[in-house]
Amino acid sequence: MSNKNDALVEQVMRELLKKGISLDDKNQSKSSGGFKMNDFLNSTSVVPEFVGTREIGDTIGMCIPSVDPMLLDQLHISKRYSVIGVLSSRTGAGPHIMAVDEAVKATNTEVIDIELPRDTKGGAGHGSLILIGGYDPSDVRSAINVALDNLSKTFGDVYGSDAGHLELQFTARAAGACHMAFGAPEGKAYGLICGAPAGIGVVMADTALKTAGVDVLAFGSPAHGTSFSNEGMVHISGDSGAVRQAVIAGREVGLKLLASMGETPTNDFPSYIK
């Protein structure tokens, strides 16, 4: 095609963007949770609570060094800390919970609230609101930063298509976030096998459980253990090798089933469960 035509196409694209159509930009950075849209140091923001954002999942991290006591009374937290870290996203619950799980292991902080809005900008899953508490603002700020950086790993086994999505998570040693959100025993291996629409998750769970000897913690579905998201998910625990093997088997069958609904599902970051 001639340059003139390309110019026309460019003109149309500009027109579309002016009219408010959002384009999924696939040219995004593949490391550290995607585009750093902004961060505390090179920001024009003068909000002292700001820690950083990531484009993936529309995620923002903040830290309140000394929470107003009246607000502390109203927050729905498991333990009262005056330093509070906040990780909040539009899309993604599992990835954020797993990222915070790593963050609390690496810092002197604790998970004090996890809530799952039914958001994800119209998708089938959850967004997330995660609060962590600590004694030292630099610890909490550091934990939020670790979590933001971990998102590029924990989104690695999230596969999406127009028809639905899959999410797989694995940790050899679960900490407080997996425990609070999924009932995972701390210190043991934990795996999440999730498919949307929810029926795919039922077959993925069946396949996973037949593959390796693991403990079933729970099965989450639209009316049970989710905020009415369209997901079927099994939470498993046990021996690290068996959990990993079960997760991989669930992923394999899930990819085939979701692909049967149209497009091949793709992930935005490299898979980390191998």
Question: In the window 13-72, what residues touch a second copy (CB under 8 A)?
Answer: 13, 15-16, 19-26, 37-38, 43, 45-47, 49-50, 53, 55, 58-62, 64, 67-68, 70-71
Binding test (CB under 8 A) with a second copy, winner from 75, 78, 80, 108: 75
Residue 189 burial (CB count, 10 A): 23
Q: Write down the least CB distance from residue 200 to a second copy, Å.
A: 7
In whole angstroms, how close is the CB of 30 to a second copy at the nearest point?
A: 17
Q: Among residues 93, 75, 94, 95, which one has the least CA distance to residue 85?
A: 75
Q: Which is nearer to a second copy, 65 or 186 (CB)?
A: 65
Pick the binder of a second copy from 107, 150, 169, 221 (CB under 8 A): 221
Stretch binding a second copy (CB under 8 A), from 7-15, 100-108, 146-154, 173-181: 7-15
What residues between 103 and 132 interact with a second copy by CB under 8 A? 115-119, 121-124, 127, 129, 131
Contact map string, positions 76 to 105, toward a second copy, x by CB under 8 A:
x-------x-xxxxx---------------
Residue number with CB closer to a second copy (168 or 198) = 198
Q: Please tell me whether residue 210 binds a second copy under the rule CB under 8 A.
A: yes
Over the window 251 to 270, marking each residue x when it contacts a second copy by CB under 8 A and - when it does not, the resulting string is: --x--xx-xxxx--------
The answer to whether 127 touches 57, Cβ cutoff 8 Å, is yes
